[in-house]
Amino acid sequence: MTASHRAFMRARSVIAGGVNSPVRAFKGVGGEPIFMQRGEGAYLFDVDGRRYIDYVGAWGPLILGHADADVTRAVADAAARGLAFGAPTEGETELALEVRALMPGLERLRFVSSGTEATMTALRLARAVTGRDKVVKFEGGYHGHPDSLLVKAGSGALTLGVPTSPGVPAALAAHTLVARFNDADSVGALFAQHGNDIAAVIVEPVAGNMNCVPPVAGFHERLRALCDQYGALLIFDEVMTGFRVAAGGAQALFGIRPDLTTLGKIIGGGLPVGAVGGPAALMDQLLPDGPVFQAGTNSGNPVAMAAGLATLKKLKAPGFYETLSQRVAALTVGLSEAAARHGVAFTTNAVGGMFGLFFAEGPVRYYDDVMRADADRFRRFFHGLLGLGVYLAPSAYEAGFVSAAHTPADISATVAAAEQVFSRLSGP
């Protein structure tokens, strides 16, 4: 019996499902979650002492790898000065200035403690300033778990096959309209019908919670134009893509100016931070200067701000994103070539430091393309790699992440391990 199994049994006796976020439970791939003990650079070490090359990166935040020395020092220094004050601290301003320097469209920010809180706040603000109730989201798009956005959602909701959760009032879900990602006509049709009731379109600019699906050319331009035409707000949910696909996020990469932007994951460098930002005229509608309620006991926590600031500072190193995308390309090209050698139908997507793997012929552009990939092959691939010391997200519907700590040797070792697994997959 492994230490991980014992740890899981113990957790299950006191924590709902034994985990504090559902995808961690391995339901999407079968088996039991691996309990981790520590992380170092590109590696995770489990409670049985096994080492894994990690492509989960805490689900996105760890773009510098585990336990980065500068980040952990900044955290320790901040902690020594006090864990929380519930009064403003200059670290909040420092982090906000750093974010604004990278994403100039975020004139004003408000920090929260999770991506969920950020999208919830953005939605409330959009509804308040437009005086409209409806919101457009995309099938397979995940924005955390605000009630309004748990309709046809991705990530854990896809993995577990509950696109719409019990407990979400039908009257509220009725205000959520669902379009098809990469199909601007589907959004146009919703506007044609409900244009005067739509407060906002919320989109992951690179879909990252139905595996990884980049936008097709012109998609975001059409969304921008439709929102402008009908007086709705365009919300870029950059909780995953922010500082991941480029220093300035997807809005810089694609040259699109959203009205509101939500951030999370990397902005906290591994500690719980989220943010919503946009033009001052919009953001100043939040309390205390405006009427729209939003608050948080732990918002702008000084230790979390220090982790975020130390992380963002390192992203400005020359060539940071070039190197990161080279590593991702080495991985995706290596895996594709290995799959081809064994006659396994396989394709990949990648943008900046994120990637997607699909057991299907490409291209994968739409939600239905993702759904027709072979989930059983993914399951066997996942467990094969896990046994060889490579840790992928335990679900066919999650994006993968490479960090600055991943070396070319880590990538080669991953491809070599995958080659072994592909050779078994092509067999009977």
Ligand X SMILES: *Cc1c(COP(=O)(O)O)cnc(C)c1O
- Where in the sequence numbering do the catalytic residues fall? 142, 237, 265
Q: Which is nearer to ligand X, 202 or 282 (CB)?
A: 202
- The HSE-up count of residue 209 (CA atoms within 13 Å, CB side) is 29
**Radius of gyration of the chain from its Cα atoms, rounded to whole angstroms:** 21
Q: Which is nearer to ligand X, 296 or 389 (CB)?
A: 296
Q: How far is the CB of 168 from ligand X (least distance, A)?
A: 16
Q: How far is the CB of 147 from ligand X (least distance, A)?
A: 14
Closest residue by Cα to residue 265 from 64, 49, 32, 11? 64
Q: How far is the CB of 243 from ligand X (least distance, A)?
A: 13
Q: How far is the CB of 181 from ligand X (least distance, A)?
A: 12
Per DSSP, the three-state class of 208 is coil
Q: How far is the CB of 344 from ligand X (least distance, A)?
A: 28
Cα(193)–Cα(141) distance, integer angstroms: 22
Q: Which is nearer to ligand X, 245 or 421 (CB)?
A: 245
Which parts of this chain interact with ligand X (CB under 6 A)? 114-116, 119, 142-144, 204, 208-209, 237, 239-240, 264, 274
**Tokens, residue 370:** 């993702």
Q: Among all residues, whose Cβ is closest to ligand X?
A: 115
Q: How far is the CB of 114 from ligand X (least distance, A)?
A: 4
401, 244 in Cβ contact below 8 A?
A: yes
Q: Which is nearer to ligand X, 267 or 330 (CB)?
A: 267
Strand partners, 401: 354
Cα(172)–Cα(296) distance, integer angstroms: 24
155, 161 in Cβ contact below 8 A?
A: no
User: Interior CA angle at 364 toward 361 and 368, to 5°?
Assistant: 100
Buried b (16+ CB within 10 A) or exposed e, 398-427: bbbbbbbbbeeebbeebbebbbebbeebee
Q: Which is nearer to ligand X, 142 or 321 (CB)?
A: 142
Closest residue by Cα to residue 216 from 313, 163, 138? 138
Per DSSP, the three-state class of 348 is strand
Cα(278)–Cα(281) distance, integer angstroms: 8
As separate numbers, helices (DSSP H) first and strands (DSSP E) second, the chain gives: 15, 14
Report the side by side order of strands in the sheet with 354-358.
347-351, 354-358, 400-401
Q: Which is nearer to ligand X, 239 or 282 (CB)?
A: 239
Q: How far is the CB of 235 from ligand X (least distance, A)?
A: 11
Report DSSP letters for 57-100, one per residue.
GGGTT-TT-BT-HHHHHHHHHHHHT-S--SS--HHHHHHHHHHH
